[in-house]
Amino acid sequence: MGSEVGLKQRIARWMEDHRGLIVVLIVLPLSLIFDALMQFRHWVFRKFISAPEKHDERVRAIQKKVRKWSEQPQKDRKMMCTARPNWQSLSTTFFRKDLCHKIAIPLYDILELKPSHMSIRVEPMVSVGQATAFLVPRGYTLAVCLEVAEATLGGLAMGVGMTTYSHKVGLYQESIIAYEMVLSDGSLVRVTRDNEYSDLYHTLPWSHGTLGFLVALELQIIKIKPHIKMEYIPVKGKKNYCNMMRELSGALDKDKATPDYLEATIYNKEEAVIMVGNFSDVPPGEENKINHLTRWYKPWFYKYVERFLKKGRDYEYIPLGDYLLRHNRAIFWVVETMIPFGNNALFRFFFGWLLPPKIAFLKFTTTPGVRAMTFTKQVFQDIVLPMNQLEDQIDKSEELFDLYPVLVYPCRIYDHGPHRGQLRPPRKDQMVPGANYGMFNDLGVYGVPRPVLEKKRFDAVDAMRKMERFTQEVGGYPFLYADTFMTREEFEKMFDLTAYEQVRAKYNANGAFPHLHDKIKPEIDVVEVGKQYMDPL
Ligand SMILES: Cc1cc2nc3c(=O)[nH]c(=O)nc-3n(C[C@H](O)[C@H](O)[C@H](O)COP(=O)(O)OP(=O)(O)OC[C@H]3O[C@@H](n4cnc5c(N)ncnc54)[C@H](O)[C@@H]3O)c2cc1C
Ligand SMILES: *[C@@H]1O[C@H](CO)[C@@H](O)[C@H](O)[C@H]1NC(C)=O
């Protein structure tokens, strides 16, 4: 027995030490084939099956299935969920769909562009990449447009989304004009901020499909120019970059003109590069300052940005399409842990086009062992936190995980009044003076904590639970696509479920859809698995 375990551990260790090689020789080529098959499937779907004019018909078919479910005797009903397999979604948890009654939502079409309303109506499975490819050539983009091309517009609406434009407009949910929902009795309703379903409007975001099925949505769009004039501002000193972010985002003065796009990448506690981007045309004579930074041979974005710490402040023009996908090739900085030599110039030149590995493929091939390892040896968290405590966030993240870079996207959190949705109104000291919103930020912590890198003891569950306690204390919220470690009680202390529970009762979601906490909690016993994996290999 003992030697068998020893062998297993040695193999695991060898594979960890040579991870880059394995990824390049096996994972990337398979991921490429996998992606080609997925693209082909999509192409077939769009060519032969897709048709926006069939939207109503397809929705009626979904309604019929839900009605049929609701007509069963109560004791025979299993909770409902969408039939989309877990591996196709970006969430890190694997919800037990096998225990549910699955309803297919095959809705992949862009329905209507409404320039006079500055909006677009889409089906929920339209991806960010698909929407961008449609909108940008027509001179628009989504007001809140994620960096991840595979994310779906419906998934983001039922969960949460934010981007570098969110200091102007808030979370993705603020850019939603209408949701079209099929409720548990099979009825179809159009939900807006001010109509009779406004209670639903405020509780659908962060509900993760536990109130009904989304079958269409209308989203706000904005006008664009073809390029982003991007300025890279290296800043030394934690206090200095935190202050500059608060100032630039408009957190201190609601009337201050803010840049269109704003983010910071923090490279260590005392050094960050702040990126300020505005829509712009390229003035004559400046064509040499255009950077197509997503081309396969170009350096990874965060590595490229890091150079400005030495080179000093500079600017350039980035085509909008490149800007929106700037973090794609290195999946922020996650690919480096898989392929440590991936940013080598020769590697990029010959193999750079293989990147990034498709997240769906990685999830498709995730075995329970890999799943357990990823959450005990890697952090993947996006957390919404108040910007007036940015310094504390950075200290906390270093104390618990000690990994860099760390990402900061500023974001408005609106005060919609007490008990309206799952987010509470910002606290008084978090509000922007004179405005109806507070300035928060996404703190993105992705990667391998230093103790794990140094093969030291690391208690992932303990660290994550401490981060969650900090988040709750300062009035923040973790994105729920990532692993959470809270008990139901702790969860209800962080999120305000008052309106959510009322809406669940009113629209008969109880018994029809799982409860939010059951939907998003990890499918494995994290505390137990955490203990097993705590000792270094
Ligand atoms: C590498 C990476 C980077 C990321 N970067 C960012 C970022 O920069 N900013 C950001 O905001 N987020 C980011 N995210 C998180 C992303 O917003 C979430 O993963 C989000 O859930 C979108 O994923 P999805 O489209 O696969 O949705 P899913 O995970 O499929 O859906 C989200 C939830 O909605 C439910 N749902 C989906 N469709 C329907 C429907 N039609 N009816 C009812 N319920 C439905 C699902 O069951 C699920 O609970 C990142 C994620 C990853 C993995
Ligand atoms: C972008 O616009 C803001 C607000 O008008 C301005 O302060 C900033 O200097 C501009 N930056 C660039 C790079 O154009």
Atom in ligand 2 nearest the alpha carbon of residue 315: 13
| Residue 371 to residues 93, 96, 246, 325, 385, Cα–Cα distance (Å) | 9, 14, 37, 27, 27
Do both 27 and 66 map to the same domain?
no
Shared domain for 185 and 71, answered yes or no, is yes
**Nearest residue CA, atom 6 of ligand 2?**
259
Specify if 499 maps to a domain.
no
The DSSP call for residue 37 is: H
Q: How does DSSP classify residue 153?
A: H
- Same domain? 202 vs 84: yes
Q: In Å, how far are 148, 438, 481 from 144, measured between CA atoms?
A: 12, 18, 18
Q: Decide if 424 is inside a domain.
A: yes
Looking at ligand 1, which atom is closest to the CA of residue 407? 8
* Most informative mutation of 248, 278, 291, 308 for ligand 2 (most atoms within 8 A of CB): 278
Q: Residues 390, 470: one domain?
A: yes
Residues 147 and 248 in one domain: no
* pLDDT for position 537: 45
Q: What is the pLDDT of residues 384-394, one digit of tens each?
A: 999 999 999 99
**Residue 417's domain is classified under what CATH number?**
3.30.70.120
Domain-ending residue, one of 223, 254, 284: 223
For 430-466, write each residue's pLDDT tens digit. 999 999 999 999 999 999 999 998 988 888 889 999 9
CA distance 303 to 404: 12
Q: Are 440 and 512 in contact (CB under 8 A)?
A: no
Residue 218 lies in a domain: yes
Burial readout 147-183 (b: 16 or more C-beta within 10 A, e: otherwise): bbbbbbbbbbbbbbbbbbbbbbbbbbbbbbbbbbbbb
The total domain count for the chain is 4
Report d(CA 229, CA 304) in Å as an integer: 16
Atom 2 of ligand 2: nearest residue by CA position: 259
For residue 440, how far is its CA from the centre of ligand 1 (angstroms)?
20
- List the structure tokens of 104: 């297919």
Instruction: Compute the distance from residue 510 Cα to the ligand 1 centre, in Å.
Output: 23
pLDDT at residue 534, rounded to an integer: 66
The reported pLDDT for the residue numbered 535 is 57
Residues 6+ apart with CB under 8 A from 162: 144, 171, 172, 382, 384, 409, 411, 442
Are 160 and 85 part of one and the same domain?
Answer: yes
Sign of CA dihedral 298, 302, 304, 305: positive
Dump pLDDT digits (tens) for 18-48: 777 777 888 888 888 888 888 888 888 777 8
Question: pLDDT value at position 322?
Answer: 93
Q: Which atom of ligand 1 is nearest to the CA of 84?
A: 30
Tokens 């030149």, residue?
A: 349
362 inside domain: no
Q: How far is the CA of 365 from the centre of ligand 1 (A)?
A: 19
Reported as type and span, the H/E element at residue 413 is strand 406-414
pLDDT tens track, the chain, 537 positions: 445 667 877 877 777 777 777 778 888 888 888 888 888 888 887 778 778 889 999 999 999 999 999 999 988 899 999 998 887 888 877 788 888 999 999 999 999 999 999 999 999 999 998 999 999 999 999 999 888 888 999 999 999 999 999 999 999 999 999 999 999 999 999 999 999 999 999 999 999 999 999 999 999 999 999 999 999 999 999 999 999 999 999 999 999 999 999 999 999 999 999 999 999 999 999 999 999 999 999 999 999 999 999 999 999 999 999 999 999 889 999 888 888 888 999 999 998 888 888 887 777 777 777 777 777 888 989 999 999 999 999 999 999 999 999 999 999 999 999 999 999 999 999 999 999 999 999 999 999 999 998 988 888 889 999 999 999 999 999 999 988 999 999 999 999 999 999 999 999 999 999 999 999 988 777 777 777 766 554
Ligand number, closest to the Cα atom of 172: 1
| Nearest ligand to residue 519 Cα | 1
Interval between CA 248 and ligand 2 midpoint (Å): 9
pTM of the model: 0.92
For ligand 2, the distance from its centroid to the CA atom of residue 254, given in whole angstroms, is: 16
**Res 6: pLDDT:** 76
Kindly report the protein residue whose alpha carbon is nearest to atom 15 of ligand 1.
Answer: 481
Neighbours of 55 (CB within 10 A): 18
Residue 508 lies in a domain: no
Same domain, 68 and 195: yes
Question: Do residues 124 and 211 both lie within one domain?
Answer: yes
- Residue 154 CA: nearest ligand 1 atom is 38
Same domain, 167 and 93: yes
Name the closest-CA residue to atom 5, ligand 2.
Answer: 257
| CATH number of the domain where residue 97 is located | 3.30.465.10
CA of 150 to the centre of ligand 1 (A): 9
In a domain, 148, yes or no: yes
- Counting every residue written for the chain, the total comes to 537
Question: Is 76 in the same domain as 132?
Answer: yes
Identify the domain containing residue 164 by its residue range. 59-223
d(CA 246, ligand 2 centre) in Å: 15
Determine the distance separating the centroid of ligand 2 and the alpha carbon of 278, expressed in angstroms.
Answer: 6
CB 183 within 8 A of CB 212: yes
Quick one: pLDDT at residue 101? 92
Provide residues with CB under 6 Å of ligand 1: 82, 89-91, 105, 124, 146-148, 151-152, 154-156, 158-159, 161-162, 208-209, 213-214, 331, 359, 382, 479, 481, 519
Do 40 and 177 fall within a single domain? no
Of 223, 250, 275, which residue sits at a domain end? 223
Task: Determine, yes or no, domain membership for 343.
Answer: no
Under 8 Å CB-to-CB from 470, ≥6 apart: which residues? Answer: 392, 396
Q: Are residue 111 and residue 217 in the same domain, yes or no? A: yes
Torsion of CA 385, 386, 388, 393, to 10 degrees: -10
Q: Which ligand is nearest to the CA of 91?
A: 1
Residues in CB range of 310: below 8 A, 6 or more apart: none
H-type helices in 107-230, by residue range?
128-135, 153-158, 166-169, 198-203
Q: Which residues line ligand 2 (CB under 6 A)?
A: 229, 231, 257-259, 276, 278, 315
Pairing of strands 227-236, 314-319: antiparallel
Q: Contact at 8 Å (CB) between 244 and 276?
A: no
- Give the C-alpha separation, 120 to 254, whole Å: 28
Name the domain boundary from 196, 223, 250: 223
Q: SS3 of 469, please?
A: helix
Torsion of CA 141, 147, 148, 154, to 10 degrees: -50
Question: What distance in Å separates the CA atoms of residue 368 and residue 364, rounded to the nearest whole number?
Answer: 11
Q: For residue 67, what are its two tokens?
A: 């009605």
Give domain status of residue 358, yes or no: no
Of the listed ligands, the closest to the CA of 233 is 2
